[in-house]
Amino acid sequence: MRDLIDNLEKNKILSNEEFIFLLNNISDQEAKYLFEKARNIANSVYENKVYIRGLIEVSNYCKNDCYYCGIRCSNKNANRYRLSFDDIMKSCSIGYELGFRTFVLQGGEDSFFSDEVLCKIITCIKSKYPECAITLSLGERSYESYLNLYNAGADRYLLRHETANNNHYSKLHPKNLSLENRKKCLFNLKEIGYQVGSGFMVGSPFQTTQNIVEDLLFLKELSPHMIGIGPFISHKDTPFKNYSNGNVNLTLILISILRLMFPNSLIPATTALGTLCDNGRELGILSGANVIMPNLSPKDVRNKYMLYDNKLATGAESAEGLDKLRNNLKKIGYDISIERGDYKE
Ligand code: SAH
């Protein structure tokens, strides 16, 4: 087992069988060994810095019907909202004052946010805060649309592939969505010049160890700048309401494996990790993650962007809770960085 971990550390890719063996047999002691290696690699590239991103959830309207997601279009219990131009600019202003230098605009696939509307928002944020990065996370769009948004000033794009196995993909999504198109979007984003983020849920319904290995191998092929993974958490108004949540320890092991596979990548300790476990985000950082994305949405909409049950949005999880987050991280030897936090080549 330790030789496999050492090989990953030397940047050797493991075979399918080796990954399966590692994931199925790693002991607690060996996991500790892995976490420490991953942490050391993260520290050697990014020191003990944790980059922060202000997450602005612009809309929970969505035309898609992903079986796992609380804001899927057929969830009639979702209380829908959409931020106005002024709401978004106000969130950026609050975030800027707090020290954020990256704004992440995330939302469901809401046709209100046309290229025209988004370009206006992006241009305005960039003219007010030229030194800030803009990250978008608005789902699948055409090549032309991604290009327009990039030309307006967007720097980064987050689009998790969700699962790299076709059969598994079809168990998580309705027929009109395909893994093929999702992957095509990711390669288009890279070609255009975005810093690209992808990733998957850990423990989503029907996921096998083999599926996870396929996720790791797909990520190797894509070679993204950012990788977001978090445990699946069930939502009471979805077809997956009775499925169990993903495992926190497996998520941490995967964060470490990803850190060894992609030493320079930007890996968030996700909200889902913090939701399932009190100190989940700290554990994520100690496993090699180096990014945290506090919630910067207007307070009155935060409980409406409910991707899964009990999603955290207050305390150290919120933009106003930055001091608390800073203290929590200090205790484990890390400092919040207020730099833009771009990918280091
Ligand atoms: N519409 C955008 C943003 C989706 S929300 C897009 O398509 O990319 C961001 C991420 O939340 C998703 O990519 C998914 O991986 C995650 N997510 C959604 N529902 C979840 C759940 N029930 N548990 C854990 N993560 C979930």
Q: Does 314 have pLDDT greater than 90?
A: no
Structural domains of the chain ordered from first start: 2-337 (3.20.20.70)
What's the mean pLDDT in 52-81? Answer: 98
User: Do the Cβ atoms of 156 and 225 come closer than 8 Å?
Assistant: yes
Residue 168 scores a pLDDT above 90: yes
d(CA 67, CA 238): 6
Check residue 170 and give its pLDDT.
98
pLDDT tier at 311, thresholds 50, 70, 90: very high
The model's confidence at residue 146, banded by pLDDT at 50, 70 and 90, is very high
Phi, psi of 231 (to 5 degrees): -65, 140
**Which residues line the pocket of ligand 1, CB cutoff 6 A?**
68-69, 106, 108-109, 137-139, 159-160, 162, 201, 230, 232-233, 235, 272, 307-308
To test the pocket of ligand 1, the residue of 160, 182, 219 to mutate (highest count of ligand atoms within 8 Å of its CB) is 160
Q: State the alpha helices, DSSP H only, in the chain.
A: 2-9, 16-25, 28-46, 85-98, 115-128, 143-152, 166-172, 179-192, 209-222, 248-261, 271-276, 280-286, 322-331
> How far apart are alpha carbons 203 and 266 in whole angstroms?
22
**Single-letter code of the amino acid located at 181:** N
Q: Given a cut of 90, is residue 343 above it in pLDDT? A: yes
Q: Which residue has the tokens 């290696």?
A: 37
Would you state the pLDDT for residue 315?
A: 83
For ligand 1, atom 7, which residue shows the shortest CA distance? 139
The closest-lying atom of ligand 1 relative to the alpha carbon of residue 162 is 15
Model confidence pLDDT, tens digit, residues 73-104: 999 999 999 999 999 999 999 999 999 999 99
Beta bridge mates, 226: 197, 266
Residue nearest to atom 25 of ligand 1 (CA): 232
pLDDT tens-digit profile of 18-38? 999 999 999 999 999 999 999
Query: Among 201, 243, 304, which is best to mutate for testing ligand 1, by the most ligand atoms less than 8 A from CB?
Result: 201
pTM for the full predicted model: 0.98
Residues 92, 97: Cα–Cα separation, whole Å: 9
Distance, in Å, from the CA atom of 29 to the CA atom of 6, rounded to the nearest integer, reads 15
pLDDT at site 277: 94
Task: Considering only CA atoms, give the Rg of the chain.
Answer: 19
Measured in degrees and rounded to the nearest 5, phi and psi for residue 59 equal: -165, 145
- Residues 6 or more apart whose CB falls under 8 angstroms from that of 6 comprise none
Query: What pLDDT does residue 334 have?
Result: 98
Which pLDDT score, from 0 to 100, does residue 317 have?
80
pLDDT tens digits along 271-304:
999 999 999 999 999 999 999 999 999 999 999 9
Q: How far is the CA of 69 from the centre of ligand 1 (A)?
A: 6
Q: What mean pLDDT is reported for the chain?
A: 97
Q: Is the pLDDT of residue 17 over 90?
A: yes
Q: Over 90: is that where the pLDDT of 313 sits?
A: no
Q: Sign of dihedral through CA atoms 216, 217, 220, 226?
A: negative
Secondary structure (3-state) at 317:
helix
H or E element, residue 178? none
Residue having the nearest C-alpha atom to atom 12 of ligand 1: 160
Out of 57, 69, 106, 202, mutate this one to test ligand 1's pocket (max ligand atoms within 8 Å of CB): namely 69
Percentage of the residues of the chain whose pLDDT score is greater than 70: 100
pLDDT for 316 equals 80
Confidence (pLDDT) at 164 = 98
